[in-house]
Amino acid sequence: TALASTANATQWTGYYIGVSGGYTESNTRYEDLDYSANGATQDWFTDGLGIGVQIGHNWQNKNTVYGVELDFSGFGVEDQRIYSGNQGIENELNWLGSLRARSGFGTGQVFFYQTLGLAVGDFDGHWIVFGDPANSWSDHGDTKAGLIGGFGVEGMIDGNWSVRAEFLASRFFDNSVTTQNLEDLSVDQSVYTIRAGINYAFGGAQDGAHTFEDGKPFDFSGFYVGALLGGSSSTVQSTDIEYDWFGGTHDFADEGFSGGVQLGFNRQINAFVYGLEASFTFLDGDFSHTDTFSRFVDGGLNWTGSLVLKTGMAVDNSLMYIFGGYSYGDYDLTDRNSGTPDIWDLGGGHSGFVVGTGIERALTPNLTFKVEAAYSGFDGDTERAPTDADLFRGAAQNVSVMAGLNYYFGERGGWGTGALPAANWKGFFVGLDGLFAYHHGDITDQDYYEWGGTYTVPSFGGGAGVNIGYNWQKGSFVYGLVGDIAFLSNDEEDTSVNYREMVSSIDWQATLRGRAGLASGDAFMYATAGIAWAGADLEHNYLPAPDDESFAIDDTRFGWVAGLGVEKKIGEKLSLKMEALYTSYGEEQGTNPDQDNCGGSGPNGLCVMNGKDSNITVKAGITYHLGAE
């Protein structure tokens, strides 16, 4: 049963100022290109709190709101560690500013939006070898540029005051520093923020100053073709399974332009839009380097082809959507010792997945403009060189942001005229989920017990789960709590016979999340964030097992989760949903009592290896609503 449309809604047009604060995780990635420390990649994680200010301006056309925002935040995010017993590493995020566009739907007293723009971050850091300044990077900090994107929900509470919750992800481009001995270190950062804030809007009464625009949305159904152009940040990974050279995982990252074409078909039921899209994307990023030991590496992601399912909600002349599906990528990855026939060719075509979100707006009855952000991950081959039996494994990931046009075939209707009265989502609900999961397990050898870097074991898996929750509703605004648990099949290991095995698995994951968004007709699109737990194992086992010098990081993980979802009523009591979530778990430690072979930075002088897990899940589910009428 549809609820009555809201008679009055917020007028979002005008200037505003505000303050925000929340939780931030900063991830620093070192690429030791010249084997000054360990010849591999190291990933270091730290988190803390931040507070900031923002100023912006919104414009509103019917139920569509768009604007621009400038913000600045300071952080207490700092980490200091002793590495290998004789080196000090420090990473600090001082401040971050961004200039972002915001665009989304403003119905009732709520603005549900996606945001994208440019970021500038200031980082401090050093990597010092005690007593050896010539081999130290005394200052690898920098003020650097990057991209930032995310989503949020803002609601008017009284007069000109509004509150909001927001998730932001930033990727900063790498900077390189050199020791006095001319050895290079490449450093890049990723920053994730979940925060809440309050804004004050200028220009007279905002609450109730705008009439809800009741009507039909633009028709996004039918066949379409299109093209996109933008940028991407890709990483190809070479993992030395049998310690032929560096013994860990080396990330080779690069940024470049990307572009592509797509062909798709949508179906639309009132405000709910779903469809299939096939796409082909080219990328021009490429990385090559010869280190001081004459080891040469070359790699880059060349192109991807994808087939995805899209689901979204249309209001006025705009469509907000999420997508996920299969992707096939071709990348180059060559690792060789110069002057020898030892060549590991790990490149070629590989299967993977892609997940993302976008917003599309009609320009004419047949032509639309869209902006889209996507993440993709690809598996790799395990190969030997023609003259060397040691195993290496490849993998690749990519983040892209692109904008483009779609052309819809056939006779179209007129322009969209508004939003539909929302269905009733209030009350308790229970549901079943099927999941795809992409898991990253990282083991970092902080004490240089063996290889001294970060060893990454990615895995693809699936699973099933259940959820229970409760929704509240005020007109088109729906908000609530959901708890879920899922059991996953992700389990991967790299084995060197009679030497070691590196194991990464995740058996289950549970979350407790808030969710909030807007409903139009039988469709409900929402943002969600909260806390998460997982049963995950990371193991460095010496063979033959058991061996008391092995490291096991098998505690229950605790972390945070954020994502987007779309849900569609298929009756008074049932609904279908699609949901994409990113989960990051806090760092855990594994120790062993063999103190003679490392610096012993752990408790009571024990040797330490650090474990870090993260995963992306894409869910499809069916929900039963106990309280719907």
The three-state (H, E, C) secondary structure of 539-596, written as one string? EEEECCCCCCCCEEECCEEEEEEEEEEEEEECCCCEEEEEEEEEEEECCEEEEECCHH
Backbone angles phi, psi at 139, to 5 degrees: -155, 100
pLDDT score for 4: 44
- The Cα diameter of the chain in Å comes to 77
Question: What residue spans define the domains of the chain?
Answer: 6-213, 215-420, 422-629
pLDDT score for 135: 82
494-514 pLDDT, tens digit per residue, is 999 888 999 999 999 999 999
396-449 pLDDT, tens digit per residue, is 999 999 999 999 999 888 898 889 999 999 999 999 999 999 999 999 988 888
Cα separation, 116 vs 229, whole angstroms = 15
Residue 192 scores a pLDDT above 60: yes
440-485 pLDDT, tens digit per residue, is 999 998 888 887 889 999 999 999 999 999 999 999 999 999 999 9
Please give the average per-residue pLDDT across 255-264, as a whole number: 95
Q: Quick check: 498 and 543 in contact, CB under 8 A?
A: yes
103-153 pLDDT, tens digit per residue, is 999 987 899 999 999 999 999 988 888 888 888 888 888 899 999 999 999
pLDDT score for 601: 56
Place of tokens 């870097």: 453
Other CB atoms within 10 Å distance of the CB of residue 536: 25
pLDDT score for 6: 45
pLDDT score for 92: 93
Say whether domain 422-629 belongs to CATH 3.20.20.140. no
Cα separation, 473 vs 109, whole angstroms = 12
Cα separation, 547 vs 544, whole angstroms = 7
Of the candidates 288, 202, 201, 223, the one whose C-alpha atom is nearest the C-alpha of residue 252 is 288
Q: Quick check: 367 and 404 in contact, CB under 8 A?
A: no
Give the SS3 label for residue 245. coil
Positions of E strands within 141-271: 142-158, 161-178, 184-201, 210-211, 222-240, 249-269
Question: What average pLDDT is seen over the chain?
Answer: 90
Of the candidates 410, 482, 33, the one whose C-alpha atom is nearest the C-alpha of residue 252 is 33
CATH topology of domain 6-213: Porin (2.40.160)
9 pLDDT band, cuts 50/70/90, is: low
Residue 209 scores a pLDDT above 60: no
Q: Which two tokens stand for residue 32?
A: 């030791």
10 pLDDT band, cuts 50/70/90, is: low
19-77 pLDDT, tens digit per residue, is 999 999 999 998 887 777 666 788 999 999 999 999 999 999 889 999 999 999 999 89
Residue 341 scores a pLDDT above 80: no
Q: Quick check: 427 and 625 in contact, CB under 8 A?
A: yes
Say whether domain 215-420 belongs to CATH 2.40.160.20. yes
pLDDT score for 52: 97
Cα separation, 345 vs 333, whole angstroms = 6
Of the candidates 154, 422, 373, 150, the one whose C-alpha atom is nearest the C-alpha of residue 272 is 422
Cα distances from 286 to residues 33, 176, 300, 519, in angstroms, run 15, 16, 4, 44
pLDDT score for 208: 56
How open is the CA angle 216-217-223, to the nearest 5 degrees?
A: 125
pLDDT score for 211: 52
More confident residue, 435 or 555: 435
pLDDT score for 339: 67
Other CB atoms within 10 Å distance of the CB of residue 548: 8
Cα separation, 86 vs 130, whole angstroms = 6
Phi-psi label, residue 499: left if phi above 0, alpha if psi -120 to 50, beta otherwise: alpha
Of the candidates 340, 252, 254, 333, the one whose C-alpha atom is nearest the C-alpha of residue 295 is 340
pLDDT score for 629: 56
pLDDT score for 72: 98
255 pLDDT band, cuts 50/70/90, is: confident
More confident residue, 359 or 539: 359
pLDDT score for 5: 47
Q: Quick check: 354 and 200 in contact, CB under 8 A?
A: no
pLDDT score for 7: 42
Cα distances from 139 to residues 86, 128, 187, 190, in angstroms, run 17, 9, 11, 19
pLDDT score for 82: 84
Residue 345 scores a pLDDT above 60: yes
Other CB atoms within 10 Å distance of the CB of residue 601: 18
Percent of the chain with pLDDT over 90: 64
**Is the preceding peptide bond at 365 cis, omega within 30 degrees of 0?**
no
- Same CATH topology for 215-420 and 422-629: the answer is yes
